[in-house]
Copies of this chain bind each other. A is one copy, B any other.
Amino acid sequence: MPKKLQTPIVVINFKTFSEATGRRAIELAKKAQKVNDETHISIGVAPQFADIATVAEAVQIPVFAQHVDAIRAGNCTGHVLAESVREAGAVGTLINHSERQLRLSDIDRVIRITQEVGLISVACANNPSISAAVATLKPDILAIEPPELIGTGIPASKAKPEVVTDTIKLVRKVNPKVTILCGAGISRGEDVAAALKLGVQGVLVASGIVKAKDPYTVLREFAQAARIKRV
């Protein structure tokens, strides 16, 4: 699987939504695959741990874990080993999502572990200054998500465009190369277009797709908006 992702990219975080658990995770991933194939816009999915293997078996698009622990193989019952999610078929993992935040030294350790194990690291941050702090730790991808907008349907690119532009500015000072995504509140194609226009290379979405009445149609709208941008 490619360590290098094609951008722009839309990453769908399945969270622990019942609409994206088990059998329904596979169905949703297949819709993402379909849109990926039809639009040639890269779509990634981040299902729950127990769904990684079956989702990765069902689709060819990049599959991400939602979290891995800052541990190595051993006596760590109930924790998430990087090697385990990779062998199950994940190509990368979210790190420090606002709903699963880590201690700073563990973010550092997990990023190093992902490098050793061969997983793409998608480190999340809440605000511009935290984004810059995370960017100094050299993850492959940085995702900025103002937590107060999560699940609101109000995208950062609209409500707080300065959060996105400040993030880009601060992050570029300390890390010129990291891929930057933005997330929280993205629910329409125009939100995706606005985000890309502000300068990010992709979006991290969740309820906007997972809880949509027709996820395929909304995701397709997202991809179209991203496609125009790319051209």
Q: What's the Cα separation between A170 and B135 when bound, in Å? A: 13
Instruction: Report if A127 contacts B (CB, 8 A).
Output: yes
Q: Is the CB–CB distance between B78 and A23 below 8 Å?
A: no
How many Å from the CB of A11 to the closest CB on chain B? 12
Residues on B with beta carbons closer than 8 Å to the beta carbon of A136: 129, 132-133, 136, 170, 174
Q: Is the CB–CB distance between A108 and B79 below 8 Å?
A: no
Q: Is the CB–CB distance between B105 and A16 below 8 Å?
A: no
How many Å from the CB of A206 to the closest CB on chain B? 8
Residues on B with beta carbons closer than 8 Å to the beta carbon of A22: 83-84, 87-88
Pick from A96-104, A153-161, A188-196 the stretch touching chain B: A96-104
Q: Is the CB–CB distance between B84 and A51 below 8 Å?
A: yes
Q: Kindly report which residue of chain B lies nearest to residue A102, judged by CB atoms.
A: B103
Identical copies in the complex: 4
Q: What's the Cα separation between A140 and B103 when bound, in Å? A: 20
Residues on B with beta carbons closer than 8 Å to the beta carbon of A17: 73-74
Q: Is the CB–CB distance between B80 and A49 below 8 Å?
A: yes
Instruction: Report if A52 contacts B (CB, 8 A).
Output: yes
Instruction: Report if A187 contacts B (CB, 8 A).
Output: no
Most chain B CB within 10 A, of A21, A66, A136, A137, is at A136
Q: Is the CB–CB distance between A77 and B84 below 8 Å?
A: no
Q: Is the CB–CB distance between B50 and A85 below 8 Å?
A: yes
Q: Is the CB–CB distance between B15 and A76 below 8 Å?
A: yes
Q: What's the Cα separation between A199 and B80 when bound, in Å? A: 34
Q: Within the complex, which residue of B18, B104, B150, B206 is in contact with A134, where a contact is CB–CB below 8 Å?
A: B104
Instruction: Report if A201 contacts B (CB, 8 A).
Output: no
Instruction: Report if A198 contacts B (CB, 8 A).
Output: no
The 0/1 profile, CB within 8 Å of B marked 1, for residues 36-56 of chain A is 000000000010111111100
